[in-house]
Structure 1
Amino acid sequence: MSPQPISTRDIVYIALFAALTAALALFPPITLPLIGVPITAQSMGPMLAGAILGARRGALSILLVLALVAIGLPILSGGRGGLGVFAGPTVGFLLGWVATAYVVGLLHELGWNKLTLFSSFAHAMIGGIIVLYAIGIPVLAVQASLSIKAATMACLAFIPGDLVKAALTAVIAVAIKRAHPIIGTRRGQTA
C-alpha cells in the first residue's frame, strides 16, 4: 500500500499546526535550575497536531517546526532557535515531539469512531507523556551528565503541567471531531 500524496489541504493543515506550535512559545517558560529544561506550553503543540491532524500530518507539522528551528528561527519557548538547541539538554524532547504527534495521531485514528473525552485524554497521555519522556529522559541524562534515575526524578515536575495539556488537547480534539472532523479512522477515512 503506497502512501497517499500530500494534498494542498494537507499542506495548509501542516503549516497551520506548525504555526500553532510556534505560537505556543509565546507563553513564558519556567526553567528548572537543576536540569536547564524549561516548562513550556509548547509541548502541547505535538499533542494537538496528532489529535487533530492524525499521525502523518501531525508528525509532518512538527518536523516543519524543527526544520524552522534548525535554520535559525527563534520559535522555541524563550526565543530559542538555531542548530545549538539540538546540542542542549532539550534535544531528546524536541525530537520526541515528532514521535508524540505520530503516536497521539495514530491512537486517535485507531479509536476515532468511539472517541470520547476520556479516550482522547488517554491517547494524549500515552503519546505526550509516556512516549515523549521515554525519548527525552535518556537523552537528557546523557546531555546533562545525570543518571537515568536523577533525570527521571527531575522530570517529575513536568507531569502536572503535561496532564493539563493532555486534558486541554482532549477537550479540543473531541470538540473538533464533533464540529469539523479532520481525521478519520485508520482505514483511510481522512479529510
Structure 2
Amino acid sequence: MASTTDINWKIKNEFPKPDTSLRAIKTSVSQDGGVIVTGFAQNNETFALSKVLISAVLVSKDGIKISASKTELENVAAFSEKSFKLNFPKNISLASAENITAYYNFQQDLTFGSTGDDVKKLQEILKNEGFLTGEMNGNFDQITKNALIQYQKKAQISPASGSFGPKTRNYINVLKKPMPTPILQSIDLTKADSSKTEVYIEGIR
C-alpha cells in the first residue's frame, strides 16, 4: 500500500494558467494630454477568474522601453470580457508619424519674377539638394533660376530652362522627402511609438 508521500499531490500553482486574451488594444492620448493604453481582457475559461492582471510597456521608435504601467480587473466571469485603461506619466507623449508625403503639391507654374509660398517651397527643395546658395525669400530671382537650371540638368528634365513648368512640377510632386543621415542620433525617451506598445495579460483563479 502506497503511503501518502507517494501520491503526486497537485498544488494550486501547478494548475495550467487560465486561458485569457486581449483585443482592441489602442495606444492614444487622453483628454488631459497623457498617454493611455486601452482594450479588453477576455476570460476564455468555463470558470470565473478572481483577478486578471494587465501590464503594458511603451516603446520608443528606436525600440527602447521607456515606461510601464499595470492594473487589475477583479471577478471576470466565465466567457466574458472587461475593458481596461492604463495611464502613463504626463511627461510621456506619442511620437508623430513619419512624413512620407511628397515634398510639396505644386499646382501652378513658376517663372522668373514669381513670388509666394510656392516659390519658397521650391527654394527649400533646391537648397536641400545643394543647388541654391541664396536665401529662401519667396522671390523667384536670378539665383533661384540658376539653381533650378542645375536641378533640371541633374534630373534630366529637358529643356533645362530655369522655368518651373509642368515637367518639373510633376517630377517634384512625386518625390518623397529624403531622410537625413544623422551624425549623432539622439534617443528621445519621452516619445512612444504607438505601434510598438507591448501588452501582457495573466489570469488568476
Which bin holds the TM-score, normalised by the shorter protein? under 0.3
Identify the structure with the greater strand proportion.
2
Superposition TM-score, scaled by structure 2 size: 0.20
Rg larger in structure: 2
